Amino acid sequence: MKSTINFRVRYQETDKMGIVHHSVYLIWFEMGRTEWLRQHGFTYRECEEKGWLLPVVESGVKYLNSARYDDLISIETIYIPEKGADFRFEYIARLENEGPILATGFTRHVCLANNNRIDKEATKQLKAIMN
């Protein structure tokens, strides 16, 4: 299951050369993940209201091409079901309209209760919503 968001590179996301700073891609991935959840009928806010925390426990980015100020960007977010307590999202950042791929990446998450321990029941409920 996947979703896509589109937006323009903001000036604040670029370095002195006008190129998007490498750290921004993880922020864009979070935007994609947030919208993926929303498009599939659930929001981060609803998770927090239930007392579920969804921290990133692992992430990675492979940089392939540069984006510049005012470029139109597309972030494709794909949910990857996994066994156990964790779940994973994969991302493709590209120039809009099937342009060149800028970066690919992933984030891995767990579902914690307010006591910062893995919540197995909440994980089952969340995965049922996401599948």
**70-107 tens-digit pLDDT:** 999 999 999 998 888 888 999 999 998 789 999 999 99
Q: Residue 90 in contact with residue 80, Cβ under 8 Å?
A: yes
Tokens representing residue 54 in the block: 């969804």
Q: pTM for this one? A: 0.92
pLDDT tens for 33-78 read 999 999 988 888 988 898 889 999 999 999 999 999 999 999 999 9
From 15, 70, 71, 119, the catalytic residue: 15
Q: How many domains, the chain?
A: 1
The domain in which residue 13 lies consists of: 2-130
Q: Which residues pair with 74 in a beta bridge?
A: 6, 94
What's 10's domain CATH number? Answer: 3.10.129.10
* Average pLDDT value for the chain: 92
Given pLDDT bands bounded at 50, 70 and 90, which one contains residue 116? confident
Phi, psi of 62 (to 5 degrees): -115, 120
Does residue 15 have an active-site annotation? Answer: yes
